[in-house]
Amino acid sequence: MRFAANARGSANHFIALVAGLLVFVPIYLVFVNSLKTRAESSSMGVGLPAVPQWENYTTVIEDGDLVVAFLNSLLYSLSATAICVVLSAMAAYVLARRRTRGHKLIYLLLIMGIAMPTNFVTLMQVMQWTNLVNTQLGIILLYAAMQIPFSVFLVYAFVGSIPRELDEAAFIDGCGPIRAFFRVIFPLLMPVLVTLSVLSILNIWNEFLMPLYFLNSSSAWPMTLAVYNFFGMYQQNWALVSADVVLTIVPVIIIYLLAQRWILSGMSTGAVKG
Amino acid sequence: MNTRRAYPTWFALGALLLYGVFTLVPSVLGILYSFTDWNSYTTELSWVGLDNFATILTAGSNYMHVIGNTIMFTVATIILKTVIALALAVLLTEGIRRASSFYRVLFYLPAVLPIIVVSLIFRSILNPADGLLNETLRAVGLDAFALKWLTDPVIAMWSVIGVDVWRGVGYIMVILIAGLLAIPRDYYEAASIDGASAWSKFRHITLPLLTPVLAVVTVLNLLYGLKVFDIVFVLTRGGPGRATDTVYTMVFEDFSKGRWGLATALSTLLLIVMVVLAYFVIRVLQRDEND
């Protein structure tokens, strides 16, 4: 009995180890190949480089315009997230507190966006009418808009857990609706807003389709598009492509490891409670 | 203070405005344009009724093929991701104690990487001549299985599906783990006292109580699968031929080639399908809640 349980325990650990390797190896590949020479990296093998080629990174940063792309990605993900978080929190708060027919309808209309596919062709036309096509402001507003439905959905559920008495106490103390929201409610929403921000930053950092449609000039490209374009130019040199990829994913991995508590909890509460 | 003044509706205006301009307006416009021959060759626009839809929905057309591909991708990824994620979730909650949170973090990692990066990595791994997969297969004597993963029309879609499962399974696993942990331990203890086997506990306790979460997971995979773009675009560009083209890669192609009326019609079809699916899913989920 004891032996059988041990054997099963070892088998389970073995399965976990194999699955772990399957996840780990492809990610390891880009790191190790980013330090190889062009010839060594031609087959993207698992072996170590004879001499680590650190200059691959300087080459990539200079040839791939990565500094500009990095700053663009940072600008888009941070500002779109800030806009989305504030607007979604305000909307979710009012819609959750006032449950009239009209407000319920607005809520349903908003969260319908979670399922609605984007019509890129007509969106292009809207972007042209508003003079937002090929502008950084345009892509920021677009990203904020894309995140709003899910964000409203996530915050809406959370507002319900904050007692109304807190709003009322604020009103009695003479706060107007704006002060009551930003001074009292907004701080209490922090747990869900942090989760939301992390998810939104990662989503936008990783997004590829919007700039592909709506940003022509390479000076406005985020990391994803810069990497894709770089790959097109240097297909024969996997070492440089790997170095480029590493620079794109290191920020993501750092954010993920630092904020995994919020990401994992946010992902699951959204789905399990929702 | 009365509710109307305390919770002013204009608080929702910013969100509604952005959502309206960038999502609702394009969708409504798309429905209108899908009845026209809107294209890049002429500035004149004429009403063509249901012609675009007829072109798309003709049996044997490229579009039907692409719709078939999208359905195949969606169904296969739903099944594979859910089954594998459930196995991993049970493994990490029941099977192993040591290092289980380490594995959870590791398994979720691919889901936070940019999809285009994942696709680039797998383009090299799946290279038929000297990619890691075929090198490994040859090294262990399985030369017969060293296939042309991305260029053989029969296999290419399965390779795309495989890469997407690698990428997305951790995300589903995390949600299922939360669902598993929400099941009260007492049920399992009571079943153990009655002498229930591990399988019958899984069959009669875990699965039924996990059904709502499995439904959510299916919806998430469904919404993702029908809209899939990045992974196909970077891995195969829809090729070889149209073997891996999906609705969104086709929309992109029609858009690039100036066939805007057709592209909007295809988008509109996707919109209808997704809104109808979402409606049914919400109804089913709400019925579960009321029971």
- Render pLDDT for B171-200 as a digit per residue (tens, 0 to 9): 999 989 988 988 888 888 898 888 888 888
Model-level pTM?
0.88
Q: Which residue has the tokens 């993963």?
A: B149
Residue B15: its chain A contacts at CB < 8 A?
A: 87-88, 90-91, 110, 148, 152
**pLDDT value for B1:** 62
**Contact flag A113-B104 (C-beta cutoff 8 Å):** no
Per residue in B47-98, pLDDT tens? 888 888 988 888 888 889 999 999 999 999 999 999 999 999 999 988 887 7
Model confidence at B288, pLDDT cuts 50, 70, 90, reads: low
In a domain, A97, yes or no: yes
A158 and B CB contact within 8 Å: no
Interface mutation target, options A38, A119, A216, chain B, most CBs of B under 10 Å: A119
Look at A110 and B5; give whichever has higher pLDDT: A110
- A117: tokens are 């596919």
Alpha helices (runs of H) in A49-119, residue ranges in sequence order: 55-63, 66-97, 101-112
**A228 with B116: Cβ contact below 8 A:** yes
Choose, out of A109, A121, A135, the residue to mutate when testing the contact with B (most B CBs < 10 Å): A121
User: CB of A122 within 8 A of CB of B29?
Assistant: yes
Say yes or no: A260 contacts chain B, CB-CB below 8 A: yes
What is the pLDDT, as a whole number, of residue A269? 61
- A206 shares contact with chain B (CB less than 8 Å): yes
Q: Could you state, in order of their start, the residue ranges of all structural domains in chain B?
A: 62-290
How confident is residue B290, by pLDDT bands cut at 50, 70 and 90? very low
10-residue averages of pLDDT along chain A (274 residues): 69 91 92 86 81 86 84 95 96 91 90 86 91 93 94 89 87 87 89 88 91 89 90 83 90 88 68 52
Per-residue pLDDT, B287: 58
Lookup result for tokens 């594995």: B103
B18/A87 CB distance under 8 A: yes
A115 has a chain B CB within 8 A of its CB: yes
Chain B within 8 Å of A80 (Cβ-Cβ)?
no
pLDDT value of position B160: 96
Q: Tell me, what's the ipTM?
A: 0.86
**Burial category of B101 from C-beta neighbours within 10 Å (exposed 0-12, middle 13-18, buried 19 and up):** exposed
Listed in sequence order, the residues at least 6 apart from A176 whose beta carbon sits closer than 8 Å to its beta carbon are none
Is B62-290 a CATH 1.10.3720.10 domain? yes
| Cβ-defined contact of B130 to A42 (cutoff 8 Å) | yes
Token duo for residue B154: 């029969």
Q: Which of A122, A144, A206 shows the shortest C-beta gap to B115?
A: A206
Tokens of B22: 């960038």
User: With an 8 Å Cβ cutoff, are B110 and A248 in contact?
Assistant: no
pLDDT of residue B286: 58
Is the Cβ of A50 closer than 8 Å to some Cβ of chain B?
Answer: no
Q: What region, left, alpha or beta, does residue B70 occupy, with left being phi > 0 and alpha being psi -120 to 50 degrees? A: alpha
A232/B contact by beta carbon, under 8 A:
no
State which residues form the domain around A81.
64-233
CB pairs under 8 A between A and B: 270
Residue pair A20/A232 in contact by the 8 Å Cβ criterion: no
Interface check for A214 against chain B (CB to CB < 8 A): the answer is no
Could you tell me if A5 lies within 8 Å of chain B, comparing CB atoms?
no
Structure confidence at residue A177 (pLDDT): 87
Query: Cα distance from B147 to chain A (closest Cα, Å)?
Result: 16
The predicted structure's pLDDT at residue A170: 87
What is the number of structural domains in chain A? 1
* Alpha-carbon span B96 to B49, nearest angstrom: 61
Of A118, A252, A267, the CB nearest to B23: A118
pLDDT of residue A274: 42
B124 vs A44, A205, A249: nearest CB = A44
Say which CATH number the domain at A85 has.
1.10.3720.10
Mapping DSSP onto H, E and C, the string for A143-188 reads HHHHHHHHHHHHHHHHHCCCCHHHHHHHHHCCCCHHHHHHHHHHHH
**CB B216 to CB A13 under 8 A?**
no
Please check the confidence at residue B285 and state whether its pLDDT lies above 70: no
